[in-house]
Structure 1
Amino acid sequence: MSVQGIDQVLGELRSMSALASGQSVNNPAAVSGGPDFAELLKQSIDQVNQVSQDAQAKQVAFQSGDPEANLQDVMVSLQKASLSFQTMVQVRNKLVTAYQEVMSMQV
Protein backbone atom coordinates (compact mmCIF):
# COMPACT_ATOMS: atom_id res chain seq x y z
CA MET A 1 0.00 0.00 0.00
CA SER A 2 1.44 3.35 -0.98
CA VAL A 3 1.71 6.43 1.21
CA GLN A 4 -0.94 8.12 -0.92
CA GLY A 5 -3.30 5.20 -0.30
CA ILE A 6 -2.69 5.42 3.44
CA ASP A 7 -3.38 9.17 3.38
CA GLN A 8 -6.64 8.55 1.55
CA VAL A 9 -7.68 5.91 4.07
CA LEU A 10 -6.84 8.22 6.95
CA GLY A 11 -8.85 10.99 5.30
CA GLU A 12 -11.85 8.68 5.02
CA LEU A 13 -11.51 7.61 8.64
CA ARG A 14 -11.35 11.25 9.77
CA SER A 15 -14.42 12.08 7.70
CA MET A 16 -16.35 9.15 9.15
CA SER A 17 -15.30 10.19 12.63
CA ALA A 18 -16.49 13.75 11.99
CA LEU A 19 -19.81 12.49 10.65
CA ALA A 20 -20.27 10.18 13.62
CA SER A 21 -19.64 13.01 16.07
CA GLY A 22 -22.08 15.32 14.24
CA GLN A 23 -19.46 17.74 12.94
CA SER A 24 -19.38 19.10 9.42
CA VAL A 25 -17.00 17.38 7.03
CA ASN A 26 -14.15 19.60 5.79
CA ASN A 27 -13.13 17.22 3.01
CA PRO A 28 -16.16 16.37 0.84
CA ALA A 29 -14.02 14.34 -1.59
CA ALA A 30 -13.31 11.84 1.16
CA VAL A 31 -17.03 11.21 1.67
CA SER A 32 -18.16 11.12 -1.94
CA GLY A 33 -16.11 10.68 -5.06
CA GLY A 34 -12.99 9.57 -3.20
CA PRO A 35 -11.54 6.09 -3.38
CA ASP A 36 -13.54 3.41 -1.65
CA PHE A 37 -11.83 1.91 1.42
CA ALA A 38 -12.92 -1.59 0.48
CA GLU A 39 -11.50 -1.15 -3.01
CA LEU A 40 -8.15 0.09 -1.65
CA LEU A 41 -8.00 -2.87 0.70
CA LYS A 42 -8.85 -5.31 -2.09
CA GLN A 43 -6.15 -3.81 -4.34
CA SER A 44 -3.57 -4.16 -1.57
CA ILE A 45 -4.51 -7.79 -0.96
CA ASP A 46 -4.37 -8.48 -4.70
CA GLN A 47 -0.87 -6.97 -4.84
CA VAL A 48 0.30 -9.20 -1.98
CA ASN A 49 -1.23 -12.20 -3.74
CA GLN A 50 0.49 -11.30 -7.02
CA VAL A 51 3.89 -10.95 -5.32
CA SER A 52 3.39 -14.34 -3.67
CA GLN A 53 2.41 -16.01 -6.94
CA ASP A 54 5.40 -14.50 -8.74
CA ALA A 55 7.75 -15.76 -6.02
CA GLN A 56 6.22 -19.21 -6.18
CA ALA A 57 6.58 -19.28 -9.99
CA LYS A 58 10.27 -18.33 -9.72
CA GLN A 59 10.78 -21.00 -7.08
CA VAL A 60 9.17 -23.69 -9.25
CA ALA A 61 11.22 -22.58 -12.26
CA PHE A 62 14.44 -22.82 -10.24
CA GLN A 63 13.51 -26.24 -8.84
CA SER A 64 12.73 -27.57 -12.28
CA GLY A 65 16.20 -26.57 -13.51
CA ASP A 66 15.28 -23.60 -15.71
CA PRO A 67 18.60 -22.03 -16.82
CA GLU A 68 16.99 -18.56 -16.70
CA ALA A 69 16.12 -18.95 -13.00
CA ASN A 70 18.68 -17.36 -10.71
CA LEU A 71 18.92 -18.40 -7.05
CA GLN A 72 19.43 -14.82 -5.90
CA ASP A 73 16.29 -13.65 -7.72
CA VAL A 74 14.32 -16.52 -6.24
CA MET A 75 15.47 -15.74 -2.71
CA VAL A 76 14.80 -12.01 -3.08
CA SER A 77 11.32 -12.63 -4.48
CA LEU A 78 10.53 -15.07 -1.65
CA GLN A 79 11.66 -12.50 0.92
CA LYS A 80 9.55 -9.80 -0.75
CA ALA A 81 6.54 -12.11 -0.65
CA SER A 82 7.14 -12.89 3.01
CA LEU A 83 7.55 -9.23 3.92
CA SER A 84 4.43 -8.27 1.96
CA PHE A 85 2.41 -10.94 3.74
CA GLN A 86 3.70 -9.93 7.17
CA THR A 87 2.85 -6.29 6.44
CA MET A 88 -0.65 -7.28 5.35
CA VAL A 89 -1.14 -9.24 8.58
CA GLN A 90 -0.04 -6.23 10.65
CA VAL A 91 -2.43 -3.94 8.76
CA ARG A 92 -5.21 -6.45 9.38
CA ASN A 93 -4.36 -6.50 13.08
CA LYS A 94 -4.50 -2.70 13.22
CA LEU A 95 -7.85 -2.69 11.42
CA VAL A 96 -9.28 -5.25 13.83
CA THR A 97 -8.05 -3.20 16.78
CA ALA A 98 -9.57 -0.03 15.31
CA TYR A 99 -12.84 -1.84 14.67
CA GLN A 100 -12.95 -3.12 18.23
CA GLU A 101 -12.29 0.38 19.57
CA VAL A 102 -15.10 1.84 17.44
CA MET A 103 -17.50 -0.88 18.51
CA SER A 104 -16.72 -0.32 22.18
CA MET A 105 -17.41 3.44 21.95
CA GLN A 106 -20.50 4.68 23.70
CA VAL A 107 -22.95 6.58 21.56
Structure 2
Amino acid sequence: MEINNASMIAEMQQLAVESQPGALQPTVNTSQADFESLLGNAIDHVNGLQKQSSSLATRLELGDSSVTLSETMIAKEKAGVAFEATVQVRNKLVEAYKEIMSMPV
Protein backbone atom coordinates (compact mmCIF):
# COMPACT_ATOMS: atom_id res chain seq x y z
CA MET A 1 0.00 0.00 0.00
CA GLU A 2 1.44 3.33 -1.00
CA ILE A 3 0.80 6.31 1.25
CA ASN A 4 1.56 9.92 0.41
CA ASN A 5 4.18 10.90 2.99
CA ALA A 6 4.38 14.54 1.92
CA SER A 7 0.90 15.42 3.18
CA MET A 8 1.47 13.61 6.48
CA ILE A 9 4.79 15.40 7.05
CA ALA A 10 3.25 18.78 6.21
CA GLU A 11 0.44 18.18 8.70
CA MET A 12 2.90 17.11 11.40
CA GLN A 13 5.00 20.24 10.81
CA GLN A 14 1.89 22.42 11.04
CA LEU A 15 0.92 20.76 14.33
CA ALA A 16 4.43 21.29 15.68
CA VAL A 17 4.26 25.01 14.85
CA GLU A 18 0.82 25.33 16.42
CA SER A 19 1.87 23.58 19.60
CA GLN A 20 4.57 26.13 20.39
CA PRO A 21 3.62 28.69 23.05
CA GLY A 22 2.35 31.99 21.69
CA ALA A 23 1.62 30.58 18.27
CA LEU A 24 -2.02 31.56 17.86
CA GLN A 25 -2.83 31.23 14.21
CA PRO A 26 -6.22 30.71 12.63
CA THR A 27 -6.47 27.16 11.40
CA VAL A 28 -8.58 25.62 8.71
CA ASN A 29 -9.89 22.11 9.36
CA THR A 30 -8.54 20.30 6.32
CA SER A 31 -7.55 17.16 8.19
CA GLN A 32 -10.92 15.52 7.54
CA ALA A 33 -10.65 16.06 3.80
CA ASP A 34 -7.00 14.95 3.84
CA PHE A 35 -7.82 11.79 5.77
CA GLU A 36 -10.75 11.03 3.51
CA SER A 37 -8.67 11.41 0.36
CA LEU A 38 -5.77 9.47 1.89
CA LEU A 39 -8.04 6.57 2.81
CA GLY A 40 -9.80 6.66 -0.56
CA ASN A 41 -6.50 6.64 -2.44
CA ALA A 42 -5.23 3.73 -0.34
CA ILE A 43 -8.36 1.68 -1.03
CA ASP A 44 -8.16 2.48 -4.75
CA HIS A 45 -4.52 1.37 -4.75
CA VAL A 46 -5.40 -1.95 -3.09
CA ASN A 47 -8.20 -2.44 -5.59
CA GLY A 48 -5.78 -1.79 -8.45
CA LEU A 49 -3.31 -4.33 -7.06
CA GLN A 50 -6.07 -6.95 -6.84
CA LYS A 51 -7.23 -6.27 -10.40
CA GLN A 52 -3.66 -6.49 -11.69
CA SER A 53 -3.14 -9.76 -9.84
CA SER A 54 -6.35 -11.21 -11.21
CA SER A 55 -5.47 -10.11 -14.74
CA LEU A 56 -2.00 -11.67 -14.55
CA ALA A 57 -3.46 -14.93 -13.20
CA THR A 58 -6.02 -15.08 -15.99
CA ARG A 59 -3.39 -14.39 -18.64
CA LEU A 60 -1.12 -17.07 -17.17
CA GLU A 61 -3.96 -19.62 -17.15
CA LEU A 62 -4.78 -18.83 -20.78
CA GLY A 63 -1.18 -19.53 -21.78
CA ASP A 64 0.12 -16.00 -22.41
CA SER A 65 3.87 -16.48 -22.85
CA SER A 66 4.68 -12.90 -21.76
CA VAL A 67 3.48 -13.61 -18.19
CA THR A 68 5.66 -15.67 -15.86
CA LEU A 69 4.58 -17.69 -12.87
CA SER A 70 6.90 -15.75 -10.56
CA GLU A 71 5.50 -12.41 -11.76
CA THR A 72 1.96 -13.66 -11.11
CA MET A 73 2.81 -14.99 -7.65
CA ILE A 74 4.52 -11.73 -6.66
CA ALA A 75 1.49 -9.74 -7.80
CA LYS A 76 -0.82 -12.05 -5.82
CA GLU A 77 1.31 -11.68 -2.68
CA LYS A 78 1.44 -7.88 -3.04
CA ALA A 79 -2.34 -7.76 -3.36
CA GLY A 80 -2.76 -10.09 -0.37
CA VAL A 81 -0.44 -8.08 1.88
CA ALA A 82 -2.08 -4.80 0.85
CA PHE A 83 -5.53 -6.23 1.53
CA GLU A 84 -4.50 -7.55 4.96
CA ALA A 85 -3.04 -4.15 5.85
CA THR A 86 -6.28 -2.47 4.78
CA VAL A 87 -8.32 -4.87 6.92
CA GLN A 88 -6.08 -4.15 9.94
CA VAL A 89 -6.50 -0.38 9.46
CA ARG A 90 -10.26 -0.85 9.22
CA ASN A 91 -10.27 -2.92 12.40
CA LYS A 92 -8.31 -0.24 14.27
CA LEU A 93 -10.67 2.47 13.04
CA VAL A 94 -13.73 0.49 14.15
CA GLU A 95 -12.10 -0.18 17.52
CA ALA A 96 -11.31 3.53 17.98
CA TYR A 97 -14.86 4.48 16.98
CA LYS A 98 -16.35 2.04 19.49
CA GLU A 99 -14.05 3.35 22.22
CA ILE A 100 -15.01 6.95 21.49
CA MET A 101 -18.72 6.09 21.44
CA SER A 102 -18.49 4.35 24.80
CA MET A 103 -16.91 7.38 26.52
CA PRO A 104 -19.18 9.20 28.94
CA VAL A 105 -20.21 12.68 27.91
TM-score normalised by length of structure 2: 0.73
**Mind listing any 5+ residue stretches in structure 2 that lack a counterpart?**
16-23
Partner of 1:28: 27
Query: Aligned pair in 2 of structure 1 residues 4, 55: CA closer, same or farther (>3 Å)?
Result: same
* One-letter identity of the residue aligned with 1:60: T
**Mind listing any 5+ residue stretches in structure 1 that lack a counterpart?**
15-24
Higher relative contact order (CA 8 A, sep 6+): 2
**Superimposed CA distance per residue, residues 10-68 of structure 1 (whole angstroms, 9 cap, x where no aligned partner):** 86xx9xxxxxxxxxx97935x23774322211111110000000000000010000010
User: Identity of aligned pairs, percent?
Assistant: 32
Alignment of 1:40-55 (within 5 A): 40-55=38-53
Partner of 1:22: none
Query: Aligned pair in 2 of structure 1 residues 32, 83: CA closer, same or farther (>3 Å)?
Result: closer
- Structure 1 contact 55–81 (Cα < 8 Å) conserved: yes
Which of the numbers 62, 68, 90 marks the counterpart of 2:88? 90
Cα separation, 2, equivalents of 1:99 and 1:38: 16
Cα separation, 2, equivalents of 1:102 and 1:68: 52
Q: CA RMSD in A?
A: 2.9
Number of residue equivalences: 93
TM-score normalised by length of structure 1: 0.72
Partner of 1:56: 54
Q: Indicate the structure (1 or 2) with the bigger Cα radius of gyration.
A: 2
Which of the numbers 89, 93, 106 marks the counterpart of 2:104? 106
